[in-house]
Chains A and B, each alone.
Chain A
Amino acid sequence: MRLKNLITILLPFSLSVIPPAIAPNAEAEVLRIVTSTPSLADIAKRVGGEHVRVESLMKGKENVHHVPPKPSFVMKMRKADMFIHSGLDAEPWVPQLLKTSRRRNLLQGAPDNVDASIGISLKEIPDHGTLSRANGDIHVYGNPHYMLDPLNGVIVARHIQEVLSSKDPSHADEYRANFGTFEQQTAELVDRLTKKLAPYHGAPVVVYHRAWPYFLDRFGLIEAGEVEPKPDISPGPQHLIELENSMNADGVRVIIVDTFNPLSVAERVADSTEAVAVVLAGEVHGVKGADDYFTLFETDVDRLIDAFEESEAKADPDPPGEG
C-alpha cells in the first residue's frame, strides 16, 4: 500500500515538471480576452477588432450577482491574456474565480485585470454610516448596473481602447479608430432611441429590481416604485397591495422585469392595475434579439414601447371610432 500512497501524493509534483500543454496565447497575434458579461465582451470585440478573441463567462440571462463560478470558467481564464469585469461589488463570484484560475496576471490589481467601472459616475451611492441589510442587499459602492446607459458603454470602450493600446501598441491606431466608430454609433443609437421614446418622455414606470436607474435616466423615464420592497427581498402581499395603490394613483403603465426575476409576480400586480409587465434584457443575449450591445437597447426600447401601447389598449379597450 505504501507505494500506492506515494504515487498518490507525488503524482502532482512529478508531473508538474512537464510544462503545461496549453500555453496562454498560442496564437501570438491575437489577444485573448475573457469578460464577465456579454456586454463587456461585445464592446471589447468592437474596439479590438480582428486583433482580439473575446469570450464572456456569463451567457446573458443570469443574475450578474449570482453567477455560479463553475470550474469550466477556470479553463477559460487560464487561456486569457486579459480579463475585463464590472468591478465594484457587482460580481461577488469573480474574486474566488481569479484565485482558482492560477493566473497571476489576472488577479485583482494586476495589469491585465481591467475594472470596467473605473471612470463611471455611479448612482445611488449609499451612506456608509448607515449601511445595513435591514435595507436589503445594498451595493456598497453604488448601483453597479451602469452598462444600461449606452454612454457609460462609451467610457468603458475608451478604457478598453487605452488598455489594448498599452498592451499592443502596434495596433493602437486601429483601436483608436474603432473606438471613434463605436462612439459615433452609440451617439446615433441614443439619438434614435430617444426620439422613439419621446412620446413616453417623463412616464412613470415600476421596476422589479433596482437595476434600471441608468437606463431610465438616459431615456427620460421616471422610476415610480419597485416590486421588491428592498433590493433582493421578495415581496409580500402587503407591499404588493401598497404598490398597486401607488401605481394606480401615479398612472404607472409599465413594470420592467429582469430576466432573472419571476415575471408571474409582476403580472399579478399588472392584473390589478392598468400596467403591463415586460421583461427587458439587462445584458446582451438576455432576451431574443439582444444580440449585441446596440441591439440590447434597441430590443429593450421596442419592448418598452410595445408594453406602453398594450397598456393603452388595456386601459381603453374600445377607443372612440372603433366601437
Chain B
Amino acid sequence: MKNCSLLGVCVIAALGAGPLAAAPIETNDPPDLNQPQAITQDDLLRELRSMRERIESLERQHAEDQRRLRVLEEDRKTHGAPAKAASSPPTIPPTSPPTSPPANQAASRSAQAPRGNAVQPARAGSGGASSLAFSSTAVPGLSNALGQGNLYNPAITIFGDLGASLSTNGDDNRFNRFNLREFEFDARAAISPFADGVFIATFGEEIEDAPGGGVDIGTVVDVEEGYINFHSLPYDLTAKVGKFRNAFGPSNTLHTHDTPQVTRPLATQAFLGPEGMSTLGISASWIVPNPWDEFIELTGEVVNADGGEESPILGGPNAKNPAYLGHLKWFTDVSDFGSLELGGSYLYAHTAADAKFDANVFGLDATLKLPDPEAPDLRSFLLQGELFYSQNDILDQVTNTGTRNNSIGAYAFAQWQLSKNWYTGVRGDITEFPNSDTRGPSDRDWAVSPYVTWYLSEFLRLRFEYQHREFETGGSWDNEDNLFIQLTFVLGAHPPHPYWVNR
C-alpha cells in the first residue's frame, strides 16, 4: 500500500499538478497596499465562494485521477504494460489559465511534492511491485529516487556532546582536560504500520586507569540502543525487542546529552553503571485501566544479565540469565500545565553463573513540574528525586562465596527556568556503592552541584556545572571541587525527548 500511495501521489503530481499549480492562488494574495480599498462582505463571500469552487474542482480532479489510476492499474495487470491512458492528456481542463507564481510564494498544498504521511494517502489499486514499476515508467525523473528507495530512509539525528573540566583534584587525569563525551548517531523510521525501528550508536572517549598509574584514553563505539518498537499491539500493549535503556526510573532512560546536568547522578552511576543500564531483551508496557482515568503504566522487562564490565549489579557475560525488571508509573496533571509523576522500580538479577548469587534493586522516583500558568514557555520549576536501595551478593572468585551487601543512594534536584533560554538548578547527591572495584561497601559519597544552562537555540546548548564532592575511601574522607563545561549540539532531524526535559 505504501507503493500504491506513493504511486498515487506521483501520478497525480505528473498528470494533475500542472493544471493544479496553474490554478490562481487567490486566498492569500496580499491586498494592493498602495491603494487602500474597502473590502466588503460581498467581496469576502465572493472569495469564499471562489475557494469553495476551487476545493470542489480539486476534489473532482482527484476523483478523476483516481479513476484513471484504477484503469491504468487494471490495464497494467491485464496487458503487462502501461495503457494508452498513461500518455493521454488530462481530461479535466485547468480551472483557470496558467499564471505565474505569486510573489509571496504561496502555493496550493495540493500541488506540493509528496512529503510522507502528511499527504493524504491516495487509495488507488492494489499497489505492490507493479505499481512501483509503473510509476517509474510513467514519471520520468522520479525513477532514480524511487529505485534507490532514499525516500524511505530513516530520520537521522547526530548529537554532539563535548565537555571540559577544571578540578582541584590535579592528580586525577580524568579532569583538567577537554572531553569528547559522546557523539550519538540516532536513526529511526517506521518499519510497518504497527512497528518502528530505532538505532542509536555512540562514539566517545573512555578514560580508564592505566596499569602503571595515570590514565589510558581510548575510543569506544557502542550500540546504545537498537530495537524494534511494536506500538500498536492488542490489549493496549507496546513492546520493544532489542537493546534499549531500561525503564528503571527517569534518570536511567536519558541519553548522555539529554541529562539535565552535565554529570549523571552519583547514585544512578553507583547502582546502574556510569552510563546507566542498557541491555538486550524484551520490554512490554501496558496502560493500566483504572476508575480514576489516570495514566498508570506498568512496564515489564526480561533482559540479559550481562551488563558489560561497567554494571555494578548485573553479573557479566557468564552470569545466569535472564534478569527481570518492573516499573510502575503514575502520572497526573496538578494544574493546566503542571504535572506530578510517581514511580517505583524493581530489578532482579543473578550476579554470577551460580544461581544462588543474586541481587534485588528497588527504586522510587518523583517528578514535579510546575510551569508558570501565565507563561509556560518562559518560566517553570522542576523538582525531581530518586531513591535506590539494593541487596546484592558480591562474589569472591577465590573462595566462590558471596557477601551480601545492602546499599542505599539518592539524588534530588530543583531547576528553575528563568527565561525562554536560561535555566538554573542545584542537585544534591548521596550514595553508597553496591559493588565497586575501588570503593568499599560502607564507603559513601555526597555532592552538591549547582548548574546553569543556556540554550542558544533549539539545537545548541551550553551548560556549566560546579560540583563539590566529599568522598570516603576505606573510612577516610577527602573532597574535590570541579567545574564542568558542556557544549551540546544537534545535527539533522528534530529529536524526540521526554516530556519533562524542556528541550
A interface residues (Cβ-Cβ under 8 A, vs B) = 1, 4-5, 8-13, 15-18, 20-22, 59, 61-63, 66, 68-72, 74-75, 78, 87-89, 92, 96, 99-100, 102-104, 107-109, 115, 117-125, 133, 136-137, 140-142, 149, 151-152, 154-155, 158, 183, 186-188, 190-191, 194-195, 198, 201-202, 213-214, 217-218, 220, 222, 232-234, 259-262
Task: Find out whether the CB atom of B117 lies under 8 angstroms from the CB atom of A109.
Answer: yes
Task: Find out whether the CB atom of A183 lies under 8 angstroms from the CB atom of B287.
Answer: no
Segment among B74-82, B167-175, B469-477, B492-500 that sits at the interface with chain A: B492-500
With both beta carbons as reference points, the residue of chain A lying nearest to B299 in the complex is identified as A12
Task: Find out whether the CB atom of B346 lies under 8 angstroms from the CB atom of A102.
Answer: no
* Nearest-Cβ distance from residue A100 to partner chain B, whole angstroms: 7
Given A22-B293, A202-B33, 13 more contacts at CB 8 Å? A10-B300, A16-B236, A16-B237, A102-B233, A102-B236, A118-B120, A119-B109, A149-B28, A191-B39, A217-B104, A220-B31, A222-B33, A260-B378
A59 CA to B374 CA in the complex, in Å?
11
With both beta carbons as reference points, the residue of chain B lying nearest to A74 in the complex is identified as B295
B264-303 CB mask vs A (1 if < 8 Å, else 0) is: 0000000000000000000011111111011101111110
Is B381 among interface residues, defined by CB-CB distance under 8 A? no
A137 CA to B294 CA in the complex, in Å?
35
Task: Find out whether the CB atom of A151 lies under 8 angstroms from the CB atom of B51.
Answer: yes
Is B36 among interface residues, defined by CB-CB distance under 8 A? yes
Is B66 among interface residues, defined by CB-CB distance under 8 A? no
Which residues of chain A are near B38, meaning CB under 8 Å? 194-195, 198
Task: Find out whether the CB atom of A99 lies under 8 angstroms from the CB atom of B237.
Answer: no
Which residues of chain A are near B324, meaning CB under 8 Å? 5, 8-9
Task: Find out whether the CB atom of B51 lies under 8 angstroms from the CB atom of A4.
Answer: no
Task: Find out whether the CB atom of B289 lies under 8 angstroms from the CB atom of A92.
Answer: no
Which residues of chain A are near B178, meaning CB under 8 Å? none
B352-364 CB mask vs A (1 if < 8 Å, else 0) is: 0000001010000
Given contacts A63-B377, A151-B27, contact A125 B105 (CB under 8 A): yes
Is B456 among interface residues, defined by CB-CB distance under 8 A? yes
Which residues of chain A are near B110, meaning CB under 8 Å? 119
Which listed residue (A99, A133, A141, A154) contacts B118, Cβ 8 A? A141
Given contacts A8-B346, A68-B500, A92-B494, contact A187 B286 (CB under 8 A): no
Task: Find out whether the CB atom of A102 lies under 8 angstroms from the CB atom of B231.
Answer: yes
Given contacts A70-B339, A107-B193, contact A121 B107 (CB under 8 A): yes
With both beta carbons as reference points, the residue of chain A lying nearest to B495 in the complex is identified as A92
Task: Find out whether the CB atom of A96 lies under 8 angstroms from the CB atom of B421.
Answer: no
Is B420 among interface residues, defined by CB-CB distance under 8 A? yes
B197-236 CB mask vs A (1 if < 8 Å, else 0) is: 0000000000000000000000000000000010111011
Given contacts A75-B293, A123-B104, contact A66 B377 (CB under 8 A): yes
Is B47 among interface residues, defined by CB-CB distance under 8 A? yes
Task: Find out whether the CB atom of A122 lies under 8 angstroms from the CB atom of B45.
Answer: no
B106-141 CB mask vs A (1 if < 8 Å, else 0) is: 111110100101101100000000000000000000
Task: Find out whether the CB atom of B289 lies under 8 angstroms from the CB atom of A234.
Answer: no
Which residues of chain B are near A66, meaning CB under 8 Å? 377, 503
Task: Find out whether the CB atom of A232 lies under 8 angstroms from the CB atom of B457.
Answer: yes
Task: Find out whether the CB atom of A12 lies under 8 angstroms from the CB atom of B237.
Answer: yes
Which residues of chain A are near B289, meaning CB under 8 Å? 18, 20-22
* Nearest-Cβ distance from residue B460 to partner chain A, whole angstroms: 9
Given contacts A107-B193, A152-B27, A201-B36, contact A62 B376 (CB under 8 A): yes
Task: Find out whether the CB atom of A13 lies under 8 angstroms from the CB atom of B36.
Answer: no
Task: Find out whether the CB atom of A121 lies under 8 angstroms from the CB atom of B28.
Answer: yes
With both beta carbons as reference points, the residue of chain B lying nearest to A192 in the complex is identified as B41
Which residues of chain B are near A8, meaning CB under 8 Å? 300, 324-326, 346, 348
Is B333 among interface residues, defined by CB-CB distance under 8 A? yes
Q: List 13 A-B contacts (CB under 8 A).
A: A12-B286, A66-B503, A72-B332, A74-B287, A78-B287, A103-B232, A104-B194, A151-B51, A187-B45, A190-B39, A191-B44, A202-B33, A262-B378
Given contacts A15-B286, A217-B30, contact A59 B337 (CB under 8 A): yes
A92 CA to B496 CA in the complex, in Å?
8
A218 CA to B374 CA in the complex, in Å?
28
Which listed residue (B48, B117, B502) contacts A154, Cβ 8 A? B48
Which listed residue (A75, A88, A187, A198) contacts B44, Cβ 8 A? A187
Task: Find out whether the CB atom of B336 lies under 8 angstroms from the CB atom of A59.
Answer: yes
A259 CA to B194 CA in the complex, in Å?
37
* Nearest-Cβ distance from residue A111 to partner chain B, whole angstroms: 10
Task: Find out whether the CB atom of B286 lies under 8 angstroms from the CB atom of A16.
Answer: yes
Task: Find out whether the CB atom of B121 lies under 8 angstroms from the CB atom of A21.
Answer: no
* Nearest-Cβ distance from residue A23 to partner chain B, whole angstroms: 10
